[in-house]
Every structure is written in C-alpha cells, then in structure tokens.
Structure 1
Amino acid sequence: MSSRTPQGTEDRPDPVRLRALRRPLAVWALMAVLAVLNGGFREVVLVSRLGHRAAHLLSTALLVAAILLVAYGFVRSTSVDYRRTELAAVGVCWTVLTVGFEFLVGYVEGTPVSVTLGQYDVLGGQVWIAVPVALLAAPLLFGHVLRR
C-alpha cells in the first residue's frame, strides 16, 4: 500500500479539486462578455439586415462557435491535468452560471420567467438550447480529444 493512498480509498473516484475550477471561472467570464457583445451585434447589425428570426439563428451559431473556440483554447493552453470529473464539473458550472445569468438579467429587466423559459422550446423552433449544450459538452469533449 502506498503512503499516499489511505486504506480503502483505492476504488473511490477522485474528488474535484476546487483549485482546478478557478481558471475556468475566468474563462466563463470571458465567454459572458463575448455573449453580451454578440447580443449587441445581433440587435444593432443583424436584425436590421436579416430580420429577427434569421438574426437570432445566426447570432446563436456565432455564439456557439465562440464558445467552442474559447473552450478549445482553454483546454489546449492549460497546464492543469484535468480529470474527467473536473472537466464535467467545468461544463456544469459554465452552464449553470450562464442559465442563471440569463434568468437574472430577465428578472432585472422585468421579463416574465415564461418568456425566458420559452427560449428553450426546441419544439417551438427555438435554437438557444444549443448554447448551454455547447457550454456543458465542450470542456469534456475537448479535454477528452486533446488529452489522449
């Protein structure tokens, strides 16, 4: 038995190291800034040229692409050897922070919760769900691909 491994812990999964989540929080802040800039670009430039629906579709695609690029850059440039559970935790944190931020902004602006929830209605033609899905999957996906 190793002096580093307490007796009986060989089969337990490693816990998430909280220090491993610090940099991903800064990365999320960068993505939040990009999302706000993307929303401004949509409203100021795209809507007048494409209309609301097409602008929303293009804006969502641009944001997903930005998220994937930033997540790729983060995983590629980090010196931390993230465990699979930590990469999953990063994705969950990014998703929870984003959805929470969206509902908070909606609340501050006086937007009814039903309107905010309506953005997730895939059967109603909404595509916004692609953003939290990208946030959730990107760290684990790129971590798995780049760390082989």
Structure 2
Amino acid sequence: MKTIYLQALGIWLLFAVVANINGIIRNLGYGPFMPELTAHQLSCLTGAVAFGTVMFLFFRLTKAEFSRMDLFLIGSMWLAMTICFEFLFGHYVIGHSWDRLLADYNLLKGRLWVLILLWTWLGPLIMGSLASGDLSLLGAGANRVTEVS
C-alpha cells in the first residue's frame, strides 16, 4: 500500500477528533444561544473550514508522492469511512434512530451534512492541488505524480 494512503487513514482519525471538538464548541459555546438549525449550519461551516485546513496541511507537509487519482481515491476512502462511521456508530453505539440519522441529509430543510460529505470527498483533490502548487491536478491533463518538497 502506498504511504499516502496509510497517512490518509491517520488523517481521517484526526478528522474524528476535529469533528468532536467542533461539536463540543457548538454544544457548549454558541449552540445554546441560537436555534438548533442555525447552530447546525454554523457548525457545518466551521467543520468544513477545519477539515480544509487539516487537508491543506496534510498535503503540504507529507513527503509522500501523490497523483490526481490518489487524491480522488483518498477522498472516496474518507467519504466511505465517514458514512459508515456516521451510521454504524450513530445507530449502534449512540442509539440514534435511522430516521434521525437520515434527517441530517435533508438539504431542503437546511441540513448541511451532505455538503460536509461532498467536501470530504472532493476536498483532497482541491486542497492537495493547492497545497502542492500543482493546479493541473484539478484538470483533465496527465495523471502525473507530484512530490511536495
């Protein structure tokens, strides 16, 4: 297995820590002072910024080589792991109903969780390209390997 994928697994675990800190700040900080939906939306925004920062730093600091395909596969891996964790941990450990878990996917009711999932999936491609300074990783050009120094 390529080094970048093993590192990406560790970064996903860091996302779990970041998400929990974000949730604690929401629940104990600003959440009690605003409607639940507004707190959810603000939390999604702060979570997306935090995840983007972690992604950028990861791809900037790693010594591992990565290609556009690697970035796409990392995003796909993070997406699958996040959805599995959300449903399995949320239902079987926390005890949330399936209906409650699915409710966060309703964009028409202002629930923004699906946008976090989209960012989790596409963020590596965007932030990896920005962090490496190789914006061709975003395009349809050759799938070349980029080494970040």
* TM-score bin, normalised by smaller chain: 0.7 to 0.9
% same residue: 29
TM-score if structure 2 supplies the norm length?
Answer: 0.82
TM-score if structure 1 supplies the norm length?
Answer: 0.82
1:30-45 equivalence runs, <5 A: 30-45=14-29
Residue 29 of structure 1: aligned partner: 13
Secondary structure at the residue paired with 1:129?
Answer: helix
RMSD between aligned alpha carbons?
1.4
Q: Which amino acid aligns with 2:105?
A: Y
1:147: Cα distance to partner? Answer: 4.2
Secondary structure at the residue paired with 2:113?
Answer: coil
Match of 1:109 among 76, 94, 111: 94
Counterpart CA distance in 1 for 2:2 and 2:43 is 33
The yes-or-no answer on 1:98 pairing with 2:77 is: no
Counterpart CA distance in 2 for 1:141 and 1:68 is 9
Cα gap change, 1:19 to 1:78, in 2 (>3 Å): closer
Bigger mean CA offset, 97-106 vs 65-74: 97-106
- Deviation track 1:65-124 (CA, whole Å, cap 9, x = no partner) reads 001000011111111120111111110111111111111222122211121111111122
Secondary structure at the residue paired with 2:90?
Answer: helix
Match of 2:30 among 30, 40, 46: 46
- Are the aligned partners of 2:40 and 2:111 in contact in 1 as well (CA < 8 Å)? no
Give aligned pairs, total. 132
Residue 42 of structure 2: aligned partner: 58
- Are the aligned partners of 2:71 and 2:124 in contact in 1 as well (CA < 8 Å)? yes
1:51: Cα distance to partner? Answer: 2.6
1:1-148 equivalence runs, <5 A: 17-107=1-91, 108-145=93-130, 146-148=132-134
Q: Which amino acid aligns with 2:124?
A: P
Q: Please identify the structure whose Cα radius of gyration is greater.
A: 1
- Are the aligned partners of 2:76 and 2:121 in contact in 1 as well (CA < 8 Å)? yes
